[in-house]
Structure 1
Amino acid sequence: MTRNGFGDGAAAVWNEERLRSSVRALVLELAPHPAVSPSAEARLVEDLGFHSLALLELALTLEDEFDLPKINQAVARGIRTIGAVEDHVVGVLTAAGPVDAVDPGGGRTGLGPVADSARNAGDAVPDPTRERADE
């Protein structure tokens, strides 16, 4: 099981809601001052206490956990809330493959530990056989 609580199951399908939940849990895990009941509008700096080093750690962790490409600095500057972080990760992974796709091999997706272990019914994983737009 990964640190985000995903266990290996038989189905290799996930949905956007599960992905957003996983991203939110990761943001809160790394937040210097995590909120008890954060909303998508919770601000990273003002509400959760992220400073420049913590934001860098968050970006690198998201890249590692979800096998994301390095984020563009201009895009990163526009991400100010938990919801914006969720939108970014969902957008990148959706561009990499169709939402609610099934991993045909039932094995590793190549999309990082969270996606590889997100194997519960209703959990979407982009199709790993499709090339990503940035490759």
Structure 2
Amino acid sequence: MSNESTRAKVREIVGEMSPSGKRDVAPADLLVEDLGYDSLAVIELSLQIESAFGLRSMSQGTVPDITTVQDVEELVVQALATPIDAA
């Protein structure tokens, strides 16, 4: 999967799960302010993304640093590029 298709899939998942009901999300959209995510919804989103991309548990230390859709995209792209042994 290319980086752009990965990013598009992330945006699709973020939009589908958006508590605000906004389906067409942009990389600059803020998860909390624009899309209505709260801490529980962010955890649910991370679990869905892990499942969709076959990732191991995303680092809980990075979750608080995620504020935009682009942050989620970057985290997934980096996780897919990191060998499992290095995670």
> What TM-score does the superposition give when structure 1 sets the normalisation length?
0.59
Root mean square deviation, CA, Å: 1.5
Q: Of 35, 47, 66, which residue of structure 1 is paired with 2:34? A: 47
Q: Of 50, 67, 70, which residue of structure 2 is paired with 1:83? A: 70
Q: Quick check: which has more Rg, 1 or 2?
A: 1
Paired residues, number: 87
- Helix, strand or coil for the counterpart of 1:73? coil
Greater relative contact order structure (CA < 8 Å, 6+ sep)? 1
Contact residue 15 and residue 23 of structure 2 kept, 8 A: no
Counterpart of 1:62 in structure 2 is: 49
- Give distance in 1, aligned partners of 2:21 and 2:6: 19
| Structure 1 residues not aligned, in runs of 5+ | 1-13, 97-130
- Give distance in 2, aligned partners of 1:30 and 1:49: 10
Counterpart of 2:86 in structure 1 is: 133
Aligned sequence identity (%): 36
| Structure 2 residues not aligned, in runs of 5+ | none
